[in-house]
Amino acid sequence: MSLTRTRRHTVAFALITATTLALTACGSGTPATTAPAAGAGKGAVPTADVVSTIARDEAAARLLPAEVRRGGTISVASATGTLPGAAYLPDGRTLVGADVDVTDAVAKVLGLRVKREVVSWEAILPALGSGKYDVGTGNFGVTEERRRTIDFVTYVNDGQGFATRADSPLKKVTDLTQLCGLNVATGGGTTFEATLERNRPRCAAAGRKPYEVQVFNDLGAQWMSLQQGRSDVLMSTVNGLRYAVTQQENVRFLNEYRRLDVGFAFTKGTPLAPAFRAAVNRLKADGTYDRILRKWGLTDSAIAESRISPPEIPAPEK
């Protein structure tokens, strides 16, 4: 997701309830065989405890700055509203999701307490730069633009994909010119918006009517627009789309368009990155990482190892 704010249309819809958002899912991939989550059917949220028994790893904890070890707390800005990333249960208080489990597991490895604050997605990266939070989560894809001001510690591989209504003639989007003449819903300030805007002139170059980029700051509004026929296609995270179509009627996943590494986000030059990378790799070594991904149906989004701000995975040429 990119911080680019250029847009063709800003569309306002009524907010969907918190419960619906928790079941519709986003964002920052998994293949067609991915289930909504291990042991979860439509409307169900997995509840397996995969974190509480994790022990502190002294080698990883020693990589933390001394003041963080002494304080024993890490402040986390978390974007919510989507599964399998992060969302509230219907009680409106309990936060669940893969981002939540991975963050809590890393904190356990490092012997830290998590002080989590729910923050709007678009506000998190600027807040890191101001020093208000130590780390941000919210399916932040690693891009070259972001790497100039943000450090990442990767923990999953997701990407960009498309969904549509069940009655759509679209079968697969392998070239963005297939979208020409259509209305495409997506999130504001994201890599999806940036990709669509950057490639929009290709329709005119091909002698076709450009697609319209419909920008929403609320994920529920994106799905509502698609369901009501105001949008023809929705572009969002691969993992979020795959999960969402299992929770709704009359929509289907089209395909992946590209992949991006996703990571914890920090202000540039953070001393926390080596410890977080060591913690993620420790979770991979002891099997906890795989258990978390199985719980949320994300096994095919596993990374081989956690890295600090790796290069952006190249975009397709079409």
- Name every residue whose Cβ is closer than 8 Å to that of residue 150 and which is 6 or more positions away in sequence: 125, 128, 140, 265, 266, 267, 268, 309
3-state secondary structure 275-286: HHHHHHHHHHHH
Residue in 8, 16, 7, 27 with CA at minimum distance from that of residue 236? 27
Residue 168, token pair as written in the block: 């759509």
Indicate left, alpha or beta for 210 from its phi (over 0: left) and psi (-120 to 50: alpha): beta
Report the pLDDT value the prediction gives residue 41, as an integer from 0 to 100: 55
pTM for the structure as a whole: 0.81
Provide long-range contacts, Cβ within 8 A and 24+ apart, for 11-17: 11/185, 11/214, 11/215, 11/216, 11/221, 11/225, 11/230, 12/221, 13/216, 13/218, 13/220, 13/221, 13/224, 13/225, 14/221, 14/224, 15/218, 15/220, 15/221, 16/218, 16/220, 16/221, 16/223, 16/224
How does strand 113-118 pair with strand 95-96? Answer: unpaired
Distance CA 195, CA 264 (A): 22
The radius of gyration computed from the CA coordinates of the chain, to the nearest angstrom, equals 19
Distance CA 107, CA 104 (A): 5
Report the pLDDT value the prediction gives residue 23, as an integer from 0 to 100: 32
Report the pLDDT value the prediction gives residue 316, as an integer from 0 to 100: 80
* DSSP string computed for 31-60: -TT--SSTT--TT-------STTPPP-HHH
Q: Which residue has the tokens 């700051």?
A: 217
Q: Which residue has the tokens 């960009």?
A: 160
Distance CA 140, CA 122 (A): 10
C-alpha to C-alpha distances, 10 to 112, 188, 203, 216, nearest whole angstrom: 41, 8, 21, 6
Report the pLDDT value the prediction gives residue 25, as an integer from 0 to 100: 31
7: Cα within 13 Å, side-chain hemisphere? 22
Distance CA 73, CA 78 (A): 15
55: Cα within 13 Å, side-chain hemisphere? 4
Report the pLDDT value the prediction gives residue 70, as an integer from 0 to 100: 94
- Give me the average pLDDT of each 10-residue run along the chain (318 residues): 36 32 32 39 79 96 96 95 87 92 98 95 90 94 93 95 96 94 93 92 95 91 95 95 90 93 96 98 97 94 96 83
